[in-house]
Structure 1
Amino acid sequence: MSRLAASWVPLSAAERAVAIEVLTHGPISRAEIARKLNLSAGSLTRLTKPLIESGLLVEDPAAHTSQSQAQSQSPAQEAAIRQGRPSQPLDIVADSRYFAGFKITAEAVYGVVTTLKSDIVLRRTRLLTTREPEDVADLVHDLTEEFALAFPRLAGIGVGVGGHVRGRAVVVESPFLNWQGVPFAELLEERTGLPVVVENDVAALVEAEAWFGAGRGLDRFAVLTIGAGIGYGLVIGSNLVRSAEDGHGIGRRWILNPNGPLTPDGERGSAIALLSIPSIRYQVQAATGREVTYDEILTLAAAGDPVAARVVDEAARGLGTLVAQIANFAMPQKILLAGEGVGIVDVAATAVQESILANRHPLADPVVLETKVSDFNDWARGAAVLAIQVLVLGRDQG
């Protein structure tokens, strides 16, 4: 693939701050940007000029400053901003560049194309016949070729995998793919000619939700994912908190009930043993002797099947304990439950809430809990958002 990424000039720290403000809150007036970033009219004009000239930002004459924005400015501030530049709000040119995002599971590759505002404009799925890194890179390359034909301004690629990733380039370990030390960004860049960002899939999803989803505008925001494994991410001050444990599967050692179930993966009563889809399926199969899907287990539990109801109730109470622990120690303004396994909340909402209350101080504020059944396209979108953050906005490589 000989196509090169749409060019952009690296942004300074101040330009990046302006671009992020417009990307996550636009259309937005210059007065509001100046207030939030504590900039003078002249400084804001100097910073926005190259962003407009590069095609990243645009003056939006159709948008109008909201009443709340107008009320936040004093007459002197509004006059100063008007003297600096015209009063049209600024917005991101969403279709100036497109990004490919991929989520790689043990069974398939899920790919999407997004605009600069992370809106998905194309989706594709390809089943894996092998998990060999070279073969997976070939498959992702083929999808990228298809994407680039439909969207010639494809500017970069983001890839999310379950596991530990170093430098947003090397998959140090992925138990789902059985990869160790795979330089996947390099493999994909060699094939596509596009810049590539590789990241832990939970981290990518958290970034996307913090910028464009449930956590938008919040200072403290947590995400808990339930699916093949258990994922957790915390955002403080608009930044994802990183640690050496990222991608190493802390759910196996996050003990929720020391008398809980023991499964092939995870310590007794751990978050993995109680909540992950494979573990829930394992518990029901061990008790009944037959293999059932996760959706079937939830349906059986809702209908009062004794085995399914017991397993789901125990999992729901473990989930409530986990949510309460996050609320107690991280004190987020909101917790998002995401992933393909959050259907358990619909079936056993009462057990979840009872467990949350049992593990919180009686005078504590209610936990703001939002659920989102995320399909793998949402995870792929998260990877595309990471690419936007790193490749366009020049955020720290992590």
Structure 2
Amino acid sequence: MTSWLPLSPAERSVAIEVLVHGPLSRTGLARRLRLSQGSLTRLTKPLIESGLLVEAAGPGGTGGNRQGRPSQPLDIVAGSRSFLGFKITADRVYGVVTTLRSEVTGRLDRPLSTREPDVVAGLLAEMAGALTAGRPAPAGIGIGVGGRVRERALVGESAFLGWRDVPLGALVRERTGLPVVVENDVAALVEAETWFGAGRGLDRFAVLTIGAGLGYGLVLGGRRVPYAEEDRGFGRHWIIDPHGPLTPEGARGSAVSLLTIPSIRYQVRAATGRDAGYEEILAGAAAGEPMAFRVVDEAARGLGVLVAQIANFAMPQKILLAGEGVGLMDVAGNTVRETIRAHRHPLAAPVDLETKVSDFHDWARGAAVLAIQVLVLGLTEARDPG
């Protein structure tokens, strides 16, 4: 099996450009990267010989490895390797296997019988074997975890799993023999949407996730902006309404207290004495049930304020709203949009707000993109690209 590693920085730039935006003609690729044709030929030759790039069929040819034919676009050999991605929640593990372009070719989920790290690592290894049976050999594993992750290998803290300083990357690598990259799940989702999703080709892009928790990611210059607090529950300190509802922990009016599924369920339970599921609350709000409507309407207004603040300060070209809580938009989307407009300058351009209905397999796909980046960026270990 031909190795693609290591890539020089210049080769890496070519590979990423074709991976994300290809197939591309040599002329178009040289223009995008501001390279001469001679420099591009020098950089693409080893990539073609290694099997990472291929001369695809184009208007002037039928494909094949005939160099020097500008009419033949360059493309990635998407199906030559498979990549594994996992999203670990408090009670289940979701896994996918993807191509080099992050197209999902298989998916699987399994319950967590325990959150003991060794057992979880064993389950991941078992799922990896099941997902890759009959497919190209996997080149790497990405794992998304809600919580603080250090050096893309160590779970420093995860409230969902009750973990502290768990060397998850090493545990899974020992059981699979594959390079492993571990990352905060929101960061992984942002990377996937930047490379292959809603943020592809955009210079400024933001992702807001609502669900069991609240997540935020910002892309500037086409790159995700890392920051120390991204995996520490920033929404608990983002006050939307100082007179708003309390969380069970006593925080008042924060983005978390208004928007997360546990907080919405808590508010309804505190007011009615009845424990209702999130979908049931949304259905009740749509039907005009007073308490459900009040809580959902308050959440919608809070979401509108939050989106408007992101648009006002980060000035993104698009904001992606994702997560298991996005059903709120189906019930109260008009309220969200009206609130956004009310908190923007009257002459401001409309916010391009895209809603993505997703499940945890989409988060797992985000983790798989991290595995792709490990390979394409020329990293033999799960570490930051630096």
TM range, smaller chain: over 0.9
Structure 1 residue 266 displacement after superposition = 6.4
- 5 Å-filtered alignment, 1:113-132, equals 113-132=97-116
Give CA-to-partner distance per residue, 1:54-110, whole Å, 9 cap, x none: 111110014689xxxxxxxxxxxxxxxx99544200111011110000000001000
Could you tell me which residue of structure 2 aligns to residue 51 of structure 1?
Answer: 47
Could you tell me which residue of structure 1 aligns to residue 248 of structure 2?
Answer: 264
Match of 2:201, SS state, is: coil
**2:277 maps to amino acid:** T
Change (3 A) 1:183 1:397: farther
CA distance in 2, matches of 1:265, 1:358: 31
1:351 to 335, 357, 367: 335
Match of 1:385, SS state, is: helix
Structure 1 residue 397 displacement after superposition = 3.4
Give CA-to-partner distance per residue, 1:297-324, whole Å, 9 cap, x none: 1110000000000000000000000000
CA distance in 1, matches of 2:307, 2:55: 43
Task: Give the TM-score taking structure 1 as reference length.
Answer: 0.92
Match of 2:149, SS state, is: strand
Percent of aligned positions that are identical: 71
Could you tell me which residue of structure 2 aligns to residue 11 of structure 1?
Answer: 7
Could you tell me which residue of structure 1 aligns to residue 323 of structure 2?
Answer: 339
Could you tell me which residue of structure 1 aligns to residue 35 of structure 2?
Answer: 39
Could you tell me which residue of structure 1 aligns to residue 297 of structure 2?
Answer: 313
Give CA-to-partner distance per residue, 1:232-277, whole Å, 9 cap, x none: 0000111100111121110111110000000114620111100000
Give CA-to-partner distance per residue, 1:207-248, whole Å, 9 cap, x none: 111111111110000000001000000001111001111211
CA distance in 2, matches of 1:302, 1:283: 17
Could you tell me which residue of structure 1 aligns to residue 201 of structure 2?
Answer: 217
**2:376 maps to amino acid:** V
Give CA-to-partner distance per residue, 1:308-366, whole Å, 9 cap, x none: 00000000000000000000110000000000101101111121112111211111111
The alignment status of 1:102 with 2:98, answered yes or no, reads no
CA distance in 2, matches of 1:83, 1:224: 44
Match of 2:356, SS state, is: strand
Change (3 A) 1:55 1:271: same
The alignment status of 1:375 with 2:351, answered yes or no, reads no
CA distance in 1, matches of 2:122, 2:230: 27
Checking the alignment, whether the CA contact within 8 Å between 2:377 and 2:385 is kept in structure 1 is: no
- 5 Å-filtered alignment, 1:194-343, equals 194-265=178-249, 267-343=251-327
Runs of 5+ unmatched residues, structure 1? 66-81
Checking the alignment, whether the CA contact within 8 Å between 2:148 and 2:232 is kept in structure 1 is: yes
CA distance in 2, matches of 1:342, 1:266: 25
Checking the alignment, whether the CA contact within 8 Å between 2:107 and 2:131 is kept in structure 1 is: no
Could you tell me which residue of structure 1 aligns to residue 133 of structure 2?
Answer: 149
2:22 to 22, 26, 30: 26
Match of 2:340, SS state, is: helix
- 5 Å-filtered alignment, 1:357-396, equals 357-394=341-378, 396=384
Could you tell me which residue of structure 2 aligns to residue 179 of structure 1?
Answer: 163
> Once superposed, what is the RMSD of the aligned Cα atoms?
1.7
CA distance in 2, matches of 1:256, 1:62: 53
Change (3 A) 1:92 1:211: same
Checking the alignment, whether the CA contact within 8 Å between 1:297 and 1:308 is kept in structure 2 is: yes
Runs of 5+ unmatched residues, structure 2? none
- 5 Å-filtered alignment, 1:133-144, equals 133-144=117-128
Match of 1:27, SS state, is: coil
Match of 1:216, SS state, is: coil
Give CA-to-partner distance per residue, 1:123-162, whole Å, 9 cap, x none: 0000001011111001001011212323241111000000
Checking the alignment, whether the CA contact within 8 Å between 1:6 and 1:154 is kept in structure 2 is: no
Match of 2:215, SS state, is: strand
Change (3 A) 1:361 1:246: same
